[in-house]
């Protein structure tokens, strides 16, 4: 009988360690860092190297899109103006990117607006922030998240919010 109890304890410890390892792995995969809104193009390239993310560059008429796919499957598109500044960011995938890293200096404004939005809405609703200097729209559910953030004042001439997808 003691051997059974001992075996049960060992199984419990192993199971607890396994669950802890899975939790740490999932947490780490949900923390990708990308270039911040308003940041320079160089920060995109540094993030790509640090994350070991696949990078795809899409050239549009008035901007370029630096598309990075993290090992966890989250795709982040950073819209870069001809002047080399990130004017918009979109994301889609199983995890929400770390918003502090994604929004950079806009994060505090986003935090205040998101808190006010949550306090004024009952239940789960998509986040829809329209403020001077910052627009953030998010939607999704477990393992399927998407969103976009941009500063209307940074949009290059001839580029509209409809171009940010």
Range of the structural domain that residue 9 is part of? 1-30
Using one digit for the tens of pLDDT, what is the confidence trace for 59-94? Answer: 999 999 999 998 889 899 999 999 999 999 999 999
Three-point CA angle 147, 77, 134, nearest 5°:
50
**Are residue 38 and residue 12 in the same domain, yes or no?**
no
**Are residue 85 and residue 20 in the same domain, yes or no?**
no
% of the chain residues with pLDDT over 70? 74
**Are residue 7 and residue 57 in the same domain, yes or no?**
no
**Are residue 40 and residue 15 in the same domain, yes or no?**
no
Give me 165's structure tokens: 């997808």
- The pLDDT value given to residue 107: 95
How many Å apart are CA 90 and CA 151, to the nearest integer?
12
CA quadruple 107, 41, 46, 133: dihedral, nearest 10: 0
pLDDT, the chain, mean: 79
Number of domains into which the chain is organized: 2
pLDDT exceeds cutoff 90 at 3: no
Give me 149's structure tokens: 């953030």
- The pLDDT value given to residue 121: 80
% of the chain residues with pLDDT over 90? 48
**Are residue 22 and residue 80 in the same domain, yes or no?**
no
**Are residue 87 and residue 149 in the same domain, yes or no?**
yes
How many Å apart are CA 99 and CA 145, to the nearest integer?
13
- The pLDDT value given to residue 70: 87
């Amino acid at each position: 009988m003691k051997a059974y109890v001992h075996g049960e304890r060992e199984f419990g410890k192993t199971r607890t360690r396994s669950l802890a390892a899975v939790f740490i792995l999932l947490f780490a995969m949900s923390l990708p860092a990308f270039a911040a809104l308003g940041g320079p193009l160089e920060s995109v390239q540094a993030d790509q190297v640090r994350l070991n993310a696949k990078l795809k560059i899409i050239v549009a008429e008035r901007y370029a899109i630096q598309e990075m796919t993290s090992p966890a499957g989250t795709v982040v598109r950073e819209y870069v103006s001809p002047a080399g500044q990130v004017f918009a960011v979109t994301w889609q995938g199983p995890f929400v990117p770390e918003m502090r890293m994604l929004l950079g200096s806009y994060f505090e404004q986003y935090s205040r607006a998101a808190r006010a939005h949550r306090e004024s809405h009952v239940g789960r609703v998509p986040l829809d922030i329209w403020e001077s200097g910052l627009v953030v729209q998010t939607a999704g559910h477990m393992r399927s998240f998407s969103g976009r953030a941009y500063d209307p004042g940074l949009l290059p001439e001839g580029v509209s919010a409809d171009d940010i997808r």
